[in-house]
Amino acid sequence: MNSTWYNVDNLEECNEVYKSFAFKIAMYSVLTIAVLLTVGGNLFVIMSIVYFKQLKSPKHVLIFSLAMVDLLLGICVLPFSMVRTVETYWYLGSFFCRLHTCLDILFCTSSVFHLCFIAIDRYYAVCDPLRYASIINTRIAWWLAVLGWVIPVIYSFGFIYTKSNDPGLDDLVAIFSLNGNCVLLFNKLWALLDSLVFLLPCFAMIVIYIKIFMVAKKQARNIEIMENRIQWLKECRTKLRRNREQKAAKTLGILMGVFLVCWVPYYTNSLIDAFSDISISSAVFEIVLWLGYMNSTFNPMIYAFFYPWFRKALKIMVTCRCMNPNSSSEQLNIE
């Protein structure tokens, strides 16, 4: 989310850093690769869930919607942010700057809500498996996905187009507009509010995953005790099902952990900038901002490493087996 308090003196420092033509080429190359990986990886996740019938489940509805958020960030935000970062100048005017900022806030906030809803889905799958199908069905999953879009849309567009972050920053806004910069400035109130929008869902996710891991550990002990009892085959099936849910919960815990690693430095930077006299350099701001963006790049990589269904779907599509009749019905070893 592109927001910070800037020290105007940092503009000169930033311009000095970016004067080297070779440095610009290197930056464009690295950031272009990141954009392509973000778009390509998330596009494949979307195509897989749409194509394969086995992936029509509540969990995959939420993963599909999260991948859509990351894909749109890669298409609508990252290319323009890349030019702004490398050139240190905004060439597209104030109208598109405001729209770009709205989309930036929208997609990043939407990621937080989607991960929170995915955590809730995994909570019921692991902690209340008997009622899971009735509590989190496909219709409910779609409603959660829609909610994960609607709240960020209201927040981002309402926040930017009401200009509620501008009071007290009129001089800075005028200076940055004059210098051709597209930077969202936060007063202290909105810096705190924006951080809470991030921190409260993250705290909820942490609590949920702690509960999931405690229940999963208890289930593992219970299954071990039951292994020596009479209905061995039935219990093995129960164990397999529980192990799958526990592994899925751990994988999604990693997904959330990567999200925190990517975005906590950015929000820490924003709070330091707003509530202290410490001047954060423009270069540091760009680094933590792009680290946050990279979360959308890492998500498909996490799927590739930890989800067998993703690897098998990738193999089917890369080898063009998806052209075969009934390939959409192939079993993908979902865990």
Please write the tens of the pLDDT for every residue from 117-142: 988 988 888 888 888 888 888 899 99
Total-model pTM? 0.80
Residue 265 pLDDT more than 80?
yes
Q: Answer whether residue 272 is part of any domain.
A: yes
Task: Give the range of the structural domain holding residue 83, as residue numbers without chain letter.
Answer: 10-329
- Residue 334 domain flag: no
b or e along 91-122 (b: 16 or more beta carbons within 10 Å of the residue's beta carbon)?
Answer: eeeeeebbbbbbbbbbbbbbbbbbbbbbbbbb
In this structure, is residue 203 part of a structural domain? yes
**Would you say residue 5 lies in a domain?**
no
Task: Indicate whether 1 belongs to any domain.
Answer: no
- Has residue 21 been placed in a domain? yes
Number of independent structural domains in the chain: 1
58/157 Cα distance (integer angstroms): 29
Task: Tell me if 4 is assigned to some domain.
Answer: no
pLDDT digits (tens, 9 = 90+) for 151-210: 999 888 877 776 655 555 555 554 455 445 676 666 677 777 878 888 888 888 888 888
Residue 327 exposed, middle or buried by CB count within 10 Å (0-12, 13-18, 19+): middle
**Domain at 79, CATH number:** 1.20.1070.10
Contacts of 303 (CB under 8 A, 6+ apart): 45, 63, 310
Residue 2 forms part of a structural domain: no
Q: Region 301-329: what's the mean pLDDT?
A: 75
- Mean pLDDT over residues 59-72, rounded? 92
